[in-house]
Amino acid sequence: MRRLAARNPRTGALDFSFEVTAAPAVVEATSRARRAQPAWAALGFAGRASVMARFAAELTARRETIQAALETDTGRRRISGQEIDSVIGAIAGWSAMAPTLMPEGWVDGRAMPAVRHAPNWRPYALVGVISPWNFPMLLGMIDAVPALTAGCAVIVKPSEVTPRFVGPLRDAIAATPGLEAVLQILPGDGETGQALIDEVDCICFTGSVATGRKVALQAAGRLIPAFLELGGKDPLIVLADADLEAATDAALRGSVLSTGQACQSIERIYVQRGIYGAVVERLTMKANAVGLNWPQIDSGEVGPIIFARQAEILAAQIADAQAKGARVLAGGEIEHHGGGLWLRPTVLVDVTHEMAVMRDETFGPILPIMAFDTLDEAVALANFGEFGLSAAVFAGTLEAAEAVGRRLDAGAISLNDAALTAVFYEAAKQSFKASGVGPSRMGADGLARFFRRQALIANTGQPLPLSAFRESS
């Protein structure tokens, strides 16, 4: 038996430990899930919707306990509540939409009129989900809920960094008749994740590019699909005629929300030269007005850095930028309070693409700002680098923002706002470049990806004889 300790991000104390699910226990869990899945699929959309509605009710009944655990895992209060609400909302949303998303019925053939075909939507029996630490509950369940709605059994391996929410989540699952075998949460580390990939029919992974590559290779070895939602380095372009107040508000929120520990955080800001000084001034003023949620958790906007190693990455990026000529206009120092680690919104100017802060994922509240002259230059700057998760454009009109947005190599483009995918989940999008692989998690594909489409092909006439293909006529 192997146990792991988890650090409390507000106190730095290793005040929680849990048993790592070892490979044999993963195999056992997957066998149980596979045995239960046919009956789950046979319930149909309506039957599964009623079980999922009960699950939502059990989550609601335990909201305080789950929120308390998430608060300790992440060191923030309001967002913890929002994570739970998002999962409850997703359960209702997928259950309501699912019956309308899968077209059924026979279609006449075009090339062979006597032949008709119909789709049969066959869910993967067992889906694995591996999730990161930045939104432990939301990202643990974001793929699990549509997969369950589709009729799959699901096993989730959450991050070892934020394990406290698992207990109360399991309680809600156990209290939902019919759900316990088809939705299992297995706490563990990378080894548990690897063991899971070895057993499932399809793997959904949210995390870093480096681990995503390992997951993709392991899945390729088994010839199972891997849906990868990976890191980002999202740019925001601000054109000269943009509303400066709105653009700087959105830039600050897009970069600083969740202490920047979000895949779709704004991590690079490109401003047209004529308004560069004004944007820098306003953003610096707004950044300086942001407070920490310390010592009271229900104050300020910036929570602690959840994963201690992340603080080292942020400090290293700031130091590298300064060594290469960047200036810090706000924030800039990792602060130690009560054992936790904090970074205030950090505005950097005189930055270049030679600096790590403009190339590598930051995952923290750092706003490096660079000037550009022409639209072509802005597009080239924004399309620089290995990531293509999302991007944002501010302009005087939506049409002008759209014209630039259509040229960007990223999966979701916010127009006259930033990081909209943090709050709006309805638009289908796929990641570009190293930010991910696979069908959209948002929109109808978010459900459809959990089915294999089986084709039923019926001949209403006579089968062709072999002689129809004879070489000599």
Does 388 sit near ligand NDP (CB under 6 A)?
no
Q: 16 or 121, CB closer to ligand NDP?
A: 16
Q: 124 or 227, CB closer to ligand NDP?
A: 227
Indicate which single residue of 178, 361, 369, 391 sits in contact with ligand NDP (rule: CB under 6 A). 361
Does 161 sit near ligand NDP (CB under 6 A)?
yes
Indicate which single residue of 75, 123, 128, 132 sits in contact with ligand NDP (rule: CB under 6 A). 132
Indicate which single residue of 206, 258, 293, 414 sits in contact with ligand NDP (rule: CB under 6 A). 206
Indicate which single residue of 74, 86, 159, 346 sits in contact with ligand NDP (rule: CB under 6 A). 159
The CA distance from 409 to 235, in Å, is: 11
At residue 30, what is the residue type? T
Does 215 sit near ligand NDP (CB under 6 A)?
yes
What's the alpha-carbon Rg for the chain, to the nearest Å? Answer: 24
Indicate which single residue of 190, 300, 439, 443 sits in contact with ligand NDP (rule: CB under 6 A). 190
Contacts of 236 (CB under 8 A, 6+ apart): 247, 250, 251, 254, 266, 268, 269, 270, 391, 392, 393, 394, 418
CB of 206 to ligand NDP, least distance (A): 5
Indicate which single residue of 25, 27, 58, 208 sits in contact with ligand NDP (rule: CB under 6 A). 208
CB of 192 to ligand NDP, least distance (A): 7
Nearest to 9 by CA among 429, 310, 278: 310
3-state SS assignment for residue 245? helix
Number of Cβ within 10 Å of residue 122's Cβ equals: 14
# residues contacting ligand NDP (CB under 6 A): 29
CB of 187 to ligand NDP, least distance (A): 9
Calculate the alpha carbon distances from 247 to 154, 209, 243, 252, 253 in Å: 41, 29, 6, 9, 10
Q: 218 or 352, CB closer to ligand NDP?
A: 218
The catalytic residue positions are 229, 263
The CA distance from 321 to 315, in Å, is: 10
Give the x/- contact pattern for ligand NDP in 243-282, rule: CB under 6 A: --------------------x-------------------
**Span near ligand NDP by CB under 6 A; candidates 206-214, 238-246, 281-289, 378-386:** 206-214
89 phi, psi to nearest 5 deg: -65, -40
Does 160 sit near ligand NDP (CB under 6 A)?
yes
- Of 14-73, binders to ligand NDP (CB under 6 A) are none
Does 414 sit near ligand NDP (CB under 6 A)?
no
**Span near ligand NDP by CB under 6 A; candidates 101-109, 211-219, 311-319, 448-456:** 211-219
Query: Tokens standing for 364?
Result: 């923290």
Does 230 sit near ligand NDP (CB under 6 A)?
yes
Indicate which single residue of 65, 194, 322, 383 sits in contact with ligand NDP (rule: CB under 6 A). 194
Does 385 sit near ligand NDP (CB under 6 A)?
no
Indicate which single residue of 37, 74, 80, 134 sits in contact with ligand NDP (rule: CB under 6 A). 134
Give, for 6, the enclosing helix (H) or strand (E). Answer: strand 3-7
Contacts 24+ apart (CB under 8 A), 165-171: 165/66, 165/69, 165/70, 165/73, 165/136, 165/137, 165/140, 166/18, 167/69, 168/62, 168/65, 168/66, 168/69, 169/59, 169/66, 169/137, 169/140, 171/58, 171/62, 171/65
Query: Tokens standing for 284?
Result: 């610096």
The CA distance from 391 to 388, in Å, is: 8
Q: 194 or 352, CB closer to ligand NDP?
A: 194
Does 137 sit near ligand NDP (CB under 6 A)?
no
CA angle 38/43/49 to nearest 5° reads: 125
Task: Say if residues 25 and 186 touch (Cβ distance below 8 Å).
Answer: yes
Q: Could you tell me how many residues make up the chain?
A: 473
Give residues in contact with ligand NDP (CB under 6 A). Answer: 130-134, 139, 157, 159-161, 189-190, 193-194, 206-208, 211, 214-215, 229-232, 263, 361, 363, 389, 436
